[in-house]
Amino acid sequence: MRLNLKIWRQAGPTAPGRLEDYTADSVSPDMSFLEMLDVVNEGLIVKGKDAIAFDSDCREGICGTCSLVIDGVAHGPDRGTTVCQLHMRRFKDGETVTIEPWRAKAFPVVKDLVVDRSAFDRIIAAGGFVSINAGGAQDANNILIPKDVCDAAMDSAACIGCGACVAACKNASAHLFMSAKISHLSLLPQGQQERYTRVTAMIDQADSEGFGSCSNEGECEAVCPKEIPISNIARMTREYVMARLSK
């Protein structure tokens, strides 16, 4: 297969960026999308040209590092799939594919397709935890948690923090990301003590980072590689209202 690529190149955070044309030759259907880019890069490198910068690490859909917008869709065309798990058999010979970075005010471009998502870390730091020091825990089986509650918490905890939800949202809202963490912890007995301070602190932090608000577009849910449902946002909103009322 041969593909025409239009790839976003940007030298640094303040430099102007633009789409540049590349071709990917002898693409095998068994390649992952990132392996296709590896091959393009290897071609550039042997010619002494600057390789296209893009992030990835685990390449199996769990670390949340990879972050490409393909033809306008965060993580590309396959539902419930990170771009590192997307395979080239999904594309047709001769197709033109556009590759861009996450775009959001709170995720500034570092270089080419690489963005800075440290705002997510600061949101977690603001309250996305249970305050327990090492050594202070009781026996694990003293805390009983019904299986369905635990399963629901796990569904939300499955978030990989990739930021596709933000990239897909026209408001660049971090609500799906935040609500996944808030749901995970507020469903569990361990998370009850800090339930209200957590939701308030995290939402305040997101506001100060420049993430937008939620207007129920549902784009976040559609691109989430872990298929985290938007019902988490409704739960977060309830938690937030309760927190305000309890003040």
Partner 1 sequence: MKLDARVPAGPIAEKWDRHKFDMKLVNPANKRKYTVIVVGTGLAGASAAASLGELGYNVLNFCIQDSPRRAHSIAAQGGINAAKNYQNDGDSVYRLFYDTVKGGDYRSREANVYRLAQLSVNIIDQCVAQGVPFAREYGGLLDNRSFGGAQVSRTFYARGQTGQQLLIGAYQSLMRQAHAKAVKLFARREMLDLVVVDGKARGIIVRNLVTGELERYVGDAVILATGGYGTVYYLSTNAINSNVTASWRAHKRGAFFANPCFTQIHPTCIPVSGDHQSKLTLMSERLRNDGRVWVPKTKGDKRSPELIPEEERDYYLERKYPSFGNLVPRDVASRNAKQAADEGRGVGESGLAVYLDFKDAITRLGPEVIKEKYGNLFQMYNKITDEDPYKVPMRIYPAIHYTMGGLWVDYNLMSTVPGLHVLGEANFSDHGANRLGASALMQGLADGYFVIPYTIGDYLANNPVPKITTDHDAFKEAAQNAQNQINKLLTVKGNRGIRDIHRELGRIMWDDVGMARTDASLKRALQAIPKLREEFWHNVSVPGSADNLNQSLEYAGRVADYLEFAELLTRDALDRKESAGGHFREESQTPDGEAMRDDDNYSYVAAWEFKGVGATPELHKEPLEFHEVHPSQRSYK
First to last CA, the chain: 61
CA atoms within 13 A on the CB side of 200: 11
Q: What is the amino acid identity at position 191? A: G
**Count of residues that interact with ligand FES, criterion CB under 6 A:** 12
* The entry of partner 1, ligand FES, none that residue 46 binds, CB within 5 to 8 Å by partner kind: partner 1
The one among 2, 23, 130, 238 contacting partner 1 by CB under 8 A: 130
Buried b (16+ CB within 10 A) or exposed e, 167-178: bbbebbbbbbbb
Q: Which of 97-105, 132-140, 209-217, 231-239 is the region at the interface with partner 1 (rule: CB under 8 A)?
A: 132-140
Tokens of 48: 């002494």
Of 194-223, binders to partner 1 (CB under 8 A) are: none
What's the CA gap between 185 and 194, in Å, rounded? 9
Of 175, 176, 141, 139, whose CA–CA distance to 155 is shortest? Answer: 176
The one among 55, 100, 219, 239 contacting partner 1 by CB under 8 A: 55
Of 29-68, binders to ligand FES (CB under 6 A) are: 56-59, 61-66
Of 138-167, binders to partner 1 (CB under 8 A) are: 138-141, 143-147, 150-151, 153-154, 157-158, 160-161
- Asked if residue 87 binds ligand FES (CB under 6 A), the reply is no
* The entry of ligand FES, partner 1, none that residue 153 binds, CB within 5 to 8 Å by partner kind: partner 1
Of 134, 130, 209, whose CA–CA distance to 175 is shortest? Answer: 209
- Asked if residue 227 binds ligand FES (CB under 6 A), the reply is no
Rg (CA), the chain: 20
- Asked if residue 70 binds partner 1 (CB under 8 A), the reply is no
Residues present in the chain in total: 247
* The entry of partner 1, ligand FES, none that residue 50 binds, CB within 5 to 8 Å by partner kind: partner 1
The residues of the shown chain that bind ligand FES, judged by CB under 6 A, are 56-59, 61-66, 82, 84
